[in-house]
Amino acid sequence: MNIVVCVKYVPDATADRKFEDDFTVDRVGVDGLLSELDEYAVEQALQFREKREGEEIEVTALTVGPEKAVDAVRKALQMGADKGVHVVDDAIAGSDYIATSLVLAKAIEKIGADLVICGMASTDASGSVVPAMLAERLNLPQVTLASVIESQGDQVRIKRDNEGSTEVIGATLPIVLSVTDQSGEARYPSFKGIMAAKKKPLETFSLSDLGVDAGEVGLSVAWSQVEDTTERPPRTAGEIVTDEDGSGAGALVDFLASKKFI
Ligand SMILES: Cc1cc2nc3c(=O)[nH]c(=O)nc-3n(C[C@H](O)[C@H](O)[C@H](O)COP(=O)(O)OP(=O)(O)OC[C@H]3O[C@@H](n4cnc5c(N)ncnc54)[C@H](O)[C@@H]3O)c2cc1C
């Protein structure tokens, strides 16, 4: 059985992030990392394999992104994935959700997957739409926001967390799944895992390897356009209330009321 985990390389939220002149996010000049929410997807893929010990299950970590995006795949390999695939091509820069899902779907078709696992959202664009687009493109059922995954043979039972309810959904593989941050703490790569990852197979595909025309991806064919961006204003110093004469509580209430919190 093949499990493909989609792992996105995102700019580090603690780094100094900026936009390019064309309003795309600078993903080259800033430190990046495997999207934290995709670590849960890797964890669930590894647990799926571990629970079915003795079966031949291969976990492939897949990313679409610039040169540095290979780091996201490496982290997944260090955590325990068996092999990695990085799709990189200059023409992909500026791709929107539709083009990104096209490239991911073509790569998944080439790898072959019985189960595709995604994160619930990326920590940069936070669209939460790629798993659904992948399911549509691959003509597979999708179950999103899974917190518990149990399986036997080709049958999968998934606990799906909604805001006000929890659903239990049964599905037959192959499917596309997205998992939440409630699905279980993601493991840290061990020293052994880090060393082992260096020897694991890591393939690089270009668009032509996937049979995708460069004219189908990139900023020029994006269905949406970012027209402007505004930098978040720098943080201002907080207000300190000194309570020397017992008036502190009143001052706090006045402050909260002035900000319309109460
Ligand atoms: C006009 C425009 C230009 C853009 N330019 C760029 C750009 O230059 N570079 C860029 O990276 N983004 C760019 N984006 C954003 C890009 O379209 C989205 O980041 C991308 O489609 C994924 O959407 P998301 O991050 O919201 O993922 P979500 O839908 O929130 O992701 C859900 C899950 O899908 C999987 N996934 C998503 N993206 C990837 C990926 N690339 N590789 C592997 N798995 C993935 C992960 O498992 C993730 O947890 C642009 C968007 C627009 C509208």
For residue 208, the domain's CATH number is 3.40.50.620
Determine the distance separating the centroid of ligand 1 and the alpha carbon of 190, expressed in angstroms: 29
**Amino acid 12: pLDDT:** 86
Asked if pLDDT for residue 15 goes beyond 90, the answer is no
Whether 216 is in a domain gets the answer: yes
Determine the distance separating the centroid of ligand 1 and the alpha carbon of 100, expressed in angstroms: 6
Whether 232 is in a domain gets the answer: no
**Amino acid 13: pLDDT:** 79
Is 129's C-beta closer than 6 angstroms to any atom of ligand 1?
yes
Measured from the Cβ of residue 261, the count of other Cβ atoms closer than 10 Å reads 8
Structurally, how many domains does the chain consist of? 1
With contact defined as beta carbons under 8 Å apart, do 170 and 156 qualify? yes
Determine the distance separating the centroid of ligand 1 and the alpha carbon of 253, expressed in angstroms: 43
Any residues with CB less than 8 A from the CB of 253 and at least 6 apart, and which?
262
What's the mean pLDDT in 4-12? 95
With contact defined as beta carbons under 8 Å apart, do 85 and 76 qualify? no
CA dist., res. 149 & res. 48, Å (int): 8
What's the mean pLDDT in 37-51? 98
With contact defined as beta carbons under 8 Å apart, do 241 and 252 qualify? yes
What's the mean pLDDT in 107-133? 95
| Tokens found for residue 130 | 């790629």
**Amino acid 53: pLDDT:** 93
pTM for this entry: 0.89
Measured from the Cβ of residue 140, the count of other Cβ atoms closer than 10 Å reads 20
Full domain range(s) for residue 30: 2-221
Nearest Cα residue to atom 26 of ligand 1 = 127
Count of residues in the chain: 262
CA distances from 131 to 167, 192, 194 (A): 18, 32, 28
